[in-house]
């Protein structure tokens, strides 16, 4: 027996072989290629190919452990509670209406309001439901520079990135001109108000496209702290503002309809949600973790103590 075969004989124990065979069956059931399996396991597709033929010369026992861990992770993911699909609400209707105005009339609009009320879900649904790439949806990143944001936007509208932020913005304007597109900028609070907001205002105006900034209530307060001339330059071009303070109980009920909650559970959910759709969904997810498929007033109360306290509230005990 050669040294390699001796190593294989000690590496490929019955338990290791069983684990590898289980993973091969898992790959087939999930439709995973060897390349995809390798990405999940942190190895090459060649290693996966050799292992399932019991020909991998390395530590097959360690690889088998990773395979079993991946199978277990997939099992838990299938059992994990699923978030409800998008549902039309009064919030989404108001967001859609503002997006329509901006798109059709090619003006600048702002959708503003509390966190977690459903602004982002509505904006994403609108973009996903529009054919022919007529809508571009982009999220601003915290502390993002004009150069970074302009480069990402250029990539989405098919404009070449240039050597400077100003040149990239100019390329974006050229690419958008005459297209009649709608640009939705979510998390607009993160945009640098002295430079990036001004640049995006110019993009909207010079390319003659619709643009909507989706943001929180703090956006306007921060903008008004700028020099009056700069703030007025931006605010004066906003054709419409839609302010959404919170989601109604009816909205939350529509979003959680797939859970088929009884009236008592809906009442408890509304009380703990504080007008936030996102918080309502997180409460339901946590309640399911507490009690499997069954959601009760007690598990919702218990779940509320496991979520982060809202600003101004006390931390959960």
pLDDT at 1: 34
Question: For the domain that residue 228 is a member of, what is the CATH number?
Answer: 3.40.50.300
What are the structure tokens assigned to 122, written together?
């509505």
CA distance 111 to 121: 13
**Are the C-beta atoms of residues 107 and 240 closer than 8 Å to each other?**
yes
- Residue 72 in any domain: the answer is yes
pLDDT at 309: 60
- Residue 66 in any domain: the answer is yes
- Residue 315 in any domain: the answer is no
**Are the C-beta atoms of residues 288 and 295 closer than 8 Å to each other?**
yes
CA distance 159 to 195: 20
Which residue's structure tokens are 């906003």?
238
**Are the C-beta atoms of residues 300 and 268 closer than 8 Å to each other?**
yes
- Let me know whether 199 and 278 are in one domain: no
DSSP state of 135: E
Strands 210-216, 182-186: parallel, antiparallel or unpaired by DSSP? parallel
- Let me know whether 107 and 185 are in one domain: yes
- Residue 30 in any domain: the answer is yes
What are the structure tokens assigned to 100, written together?
């329509």
- Let me know whether 144 and 39 are in one domain: no
- Residue 84 in any domain: the answer is no
Q: Of 244, 269, 293, at which residue does a domain stop?
A: 244
Residues 6 or more apart in contact with residue 304 via CB below 8 angstroms: 272, 283
Give the residue-averaged pLDDT of 175-198: 92
- Let me know whether 69 and 129 are in one domain: no
Q: Which of 102, 99, 103, 155 is nearest to 123 (CA)?
A: 99
Q: How many domains does the chain have?
A: 3
Domain residues for 255?
249-304
Q: Of 225, 244, 263, at which residue does a domain stop?
A: 244
CA distance 120 to 114: 11
**Are the C-beta atoms of residues 21 and 64 closer than 8 Å to each other?**
no
Give the pLDDT confidence of 197-233 residue by residue, as tens digits: 999 999 999 999 999 999 998 887 777 777 666 677 7
- Let me know whether 54 and 162 are in one domain: no
- Residue 295 in any domain: the answer is yes
Give the pLDDT confidence of 118-147 residue by residue, as tens digits: 999 999 999 998 766 899 999 999 999 999
- Residue 253 in any domain: the answer is yes
Q: Of 244, 264, 279, at which residue does a domain stop?
A: 244
Percent of the chain beyond pLDDT 70?
A: 90
- Let me know whether 163 and 228 are in one domain: yes
- Let me know whether 218 and 264 are in one domain: no
Q: Which of 64, 55, 62, 51 is nearest to 4 (CA)?
A: 55
CA distance 15 to 33: 24
- Let me know whether 54 and 117 are in one domain: no
pTM to 2 decimal places: 0.72
Sign, CA dihedral 168-239-190-197, equals positive
Q: What are the φ/ψ torsions at residue 57 (nearest 5 degrees)? A: -85, -5
Mark out the alpha helices in the chain (DSSP H runs): 3-11, 14-30, 34-41, 45-52, 60-79, 90-105, 119-128, 146-157, 165-176, 196-207, 218-223, 228-235, 249-255, 263-273, 277-291, 297-304
- Let me know whether 180 and 270 are in one domain: no
* Lowest mean pLDDT across 13-22, 187-196, 197-206, 308-317: 308-317
Question: For the domain that residue 270 is a member of, what is the CATH number?
Answer: 1.10.8
- Let me know whether 194 and 269 are in one domain: no
- Let me know whether 174 and 100 are in one domain: yes
- Residue 105 in any domain: the answer is yes
- Let me know whether 7 and 105 are in one domain: no
């Amino acid at each position: 027996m050669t040294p390699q075969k001796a190593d294989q004989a000690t590496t490929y124990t019955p338990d290791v072989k069983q684990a590898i065979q289980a993973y091969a069956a898992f790959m087939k059931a999930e439709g995973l290629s060897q390349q995809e399996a390798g990405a999940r396991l942190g190895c090459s597709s060649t290693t996966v190919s050799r292992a399932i033929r019991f020909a991998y010369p390395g530590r097959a026992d360690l690889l088998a452990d990773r395979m079993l861990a991946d199978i277990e992770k997939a099992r838990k993911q299938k059992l994990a509670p699923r978030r409800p699909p998008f549902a039309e609400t009064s919030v989404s209707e108001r967001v859609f209406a503002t997006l329509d105005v901006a798109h059709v009339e090619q003006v600048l609009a702002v959708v503003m309001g509390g966190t977690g009320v459903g602004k982002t879900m509505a904006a994403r649904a609108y973009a996903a439901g529009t054919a022919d790439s007529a809508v571009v949806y982009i999220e601003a990143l915290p502390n993002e520079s004009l150069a970074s944001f302009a480069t990402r936007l250029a990539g989405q509208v098919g404009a070449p990135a240039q050597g400077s932020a100003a040149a990239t913005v100019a390329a974006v304007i050229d690419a958008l001109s005459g297209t009649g597109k709608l640009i939705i900028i979510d998390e607009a609070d993160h945009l640098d108000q002295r430079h990036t907001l001004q640049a995006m205002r110019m993009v909207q105006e010079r390319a003659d496209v619709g643009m909507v900034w989706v943001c929180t209530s703090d956006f306007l307060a921060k903008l008004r702290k700028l020099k009056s001339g700069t703030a007025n330059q931006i605010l004066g071009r906003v054709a419409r503002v839609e302010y959404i303070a919170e989601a109604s109980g009816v909205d939350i009920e529509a979003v959680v309809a797939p859970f088929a909650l009884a009236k008592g559970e809906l009442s408890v959910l509304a009380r703990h949600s504080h007008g936030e759709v996102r918080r309502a969904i997180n409460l339901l997810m946590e309640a399911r973790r507490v009690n499997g498929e069954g959601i009760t007033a007690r598990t919702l109360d218990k779940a509320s103590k496991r979520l982060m306290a809202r600003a101004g509230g006390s931390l959960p005990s």
